Chains A and B, each alone.
Chain A
């Protein structure tokens, strides 16, 4: 795809914000939903409508502040489409979650323009705060890691992420595979191209970017196989799973932050479901003769199955765990395996139906013959 090359020098953030200001100035969008800086230096999803106020936007902040942008867009649009034009800044996993939510009718994309951002990886919120407190800029650490290759302090899900570049957006702000001091704003749709042309950019193609991305993916594939291979060993059998969740306090925060988990009333919060282990004993005619799942484990396994086909591997569940359980290991593993069975990549395109919405005769042969 074609795009425009921007000179940034040392001023990456300001260059991006100036670009966003121009989108507002030229009335291409009425508002921008983006990560904006809070008084503690962290970011939170927020609106900017004034072209002179874009300096608070921190597009490249390598952190997901507890709530996925997809969740915010869903809150705004799930009842009715917006009438004003909204540009939304999203990380690659955010976009994929958004696409999944469109399929489940939780997001209406009318009047919404997606501006994706490359994401080489994000830090856990606590780590991000530490970096800030030491007086460093987390995004600089990311650029450095990108040059050296690999970063050990990213969240686990980021270390093995196969989508550092957004796969579905109108515009994409790219830095991976672009020489230092420059940014590539890629148009992915006609709308995107129109934006760039109206702003007077000369459009060109960048082949070397694709090569750089492919290189990262090759490396990550290996890491990913290793990561999930180890996870499979650790989580093998009931014993492994029970001990994995030993420290879980059943606070359900993993469920609350999950961008895919959208039910208005959760089954696990309904009267139908109670945590008393005895219920299982009562329901089970062979009382006590089969190993019983601990109630909290039942919750996680249930949730993992619900999320499996649409999980976008953002790893927010893990970041939200107050007990620091490496949840992505389990949720990611189950999701990867299920998605493989159905050859389904969540967030690839709006048209592709998720396995739970569609029956194909040829699928699951080994189970149904």
Chain B
């Protein structure tokens, strides 16, 4: 039987102790969106942690004590690839855990360990090549990063300046994906509308690095973090605004550890900035009667705690705001996280459909989100369901209500 050595050096003692704190109570299994969508058990959180425990036991634990570090059967690792990667990293398991295991943080490290051993899904192997070269996970030429400026008819109105108070960090999924161009355009218009001193990073903007963490390459993620922090700090910006929940969490929670230093700027998600503009009276939103519901991006709500701001904005613009069955910290993933689109798009679409159906159940006309990945997944899910619910980003909605749309 073929066996390979797998290093677990990447796991800290604290992480290992959390791994063994798990008591298999199974509460984490109940809310797993991938399980709800597929009913397949091998991608559940507990099979993940059992496989990880097995690997740790063999490399630096109970088994290696007797026999020295032991190689792992490669069939187990091959079976482990979907177990580890068919996951949206949404953190629903962490929300349910009563024993402080914080499972989803271990899944990131598990991916790093699998990536180092060379066990990652085929599609991600392809992604890695282009990603390394182009600095964006879509492998598109860097000069296309600002293509949306032209398409949104914002030439001269959304530019790269040497200095600015605010940097709009667009993020790859917003910049490169056609369906999300409107988010970037709307954000730019809002910033212009309130007369903000702002700038883009242009080609100096690299992917935030979060996708590298999802693939499991921490060193590459570090490269991106260092580059982006330098590029932002060169402009002397006080604040960085993002429209993407993934970029937000990466910059806010991962960057300081990755660059091993303090950030000299503040990170804001668009919803926080817009809420501030409203409070300062720079934006006035008139109420409408659109039936709205809000989809919490996992990385923004559950994993970063930005929960109230989008709701305050939405309640302001509509008296018909309704919560879905799963909301706030207990929100249901859109399916778009954790690189699931590349690993297994069928699963992603199934998860997305569950979420869209929850919105339909509330009779929503607009399903509002605050993340381009969520928007993409939910748009695809609605398409699969042939549902006429309109999926929009909160930034687009605000711009539309301010009469700022491009069309």
Chain A residues near B (Cβ < 8 Å): 31, 33, 38-40, 42, 44-47, 49, 65-67, 72, 75-76, 80, 82-84, 86, 125-126, 129, 249-253, 256-257, 269, 275, 319-323
Contacts and interface: CB of A to CB of B under 8 A. Distances in A.
Contact of A66 (B23, B42, B63, B65): B23
A249 B54 contact: no
A306 to B, nearest CB: 17
25 contacts: A33-B62, A42-B21, A42-B23, A44-B23, A46-B62, A75-B63, A76-B62, A76-B63, A82-B66, A83-B66, A84-B65, A126-B25, A126-B98, A129-B98, A250-B39, A251-B26, A251-B29, A251-B44, A252-B41, A253-B26, A253-B29, A256-B50, A275-B39, A322-B28, A322-B29
B193 interface: no
A65 B46 CA distance: 14
Given A33-B62, A76-B66, A251 B24 contact: no
Q: Which residue among B26, B30, B57, B65 has the maximum number of chain A CB atoms within 10 Å of its CB?
A: B26
B99 A40 contact: yes
Contact of B41 (A33, A250, A257): A250
B45 to A, nearest CB: 10
A83 B39 CA distance: 43
Contacts of B65: 31, 47, 49, 84
Interface of B: 17, 20-30, 35, 39, 41-42, 44, 46-47, 50, 54, 57, 62-63, 65-67, 98-100
Contact of B20 (A44, A86, A250, A253): A44
A126 B24 CA distance: 11
B35 A251 contact: yes
Nearest to B29: A251
A321 B30 CA distance: 10
A314 to B, nearest CB: 13
B66 A319 contact: no
Given A39-B17, A126-B98, A322-B30, A47 B25 contact: no
Contacts of A126: 25, 98
Nearest to A266: B41
Grouping DSSP codes into helix (H, G, I), strand (E, B) and loop, the B interface class, with mixed when no group exceeds half, is helix
B250 to A, nearest CB: 28
Contact of A321 (B26, B57, B99, B100): B26
Contacts of A257: 24
Nearest to B27: A322
B252 to A, nearest CB: 26
A39 B17 CA distance: 8
Given A251-B35, A252-B41, A322 B99 contact: no
A31 to B, nearest CB: 7
A198 to B, nearest CB: 24
A271 to B, nearest CB: 12
A126 B97 CA distance: 11
B76 to A, nearest CB: 9
B42 A269 contact: yes
Nearest to B26: A322
Contacts of A47: 62, 65
Contact of B30 (A40, A44, A323): A323
Contact of B21 (A38, A76, A275): A38
Contact of A256 (B24, B27, B100): B24
B99 A129 contact: yes
A270 B306 CA distance: 42
Contacts of A40: 21, 99-100
Given A39-B17, A251-B29, A275-B39, 9 more contacts: A40-B99, A44-B20, A47-B62, A66-B24, A76-B62, A82-B66, A125-B99, A126-B25, A322-B28
Contacts of B57: 75
Contact of A67 (B17, B24, B29): B24
Contact of B66 (A66, A67, A84, A129): A84
A158 B24 CA distance: 18
Contacts of B99: 40, 42, 125, 129
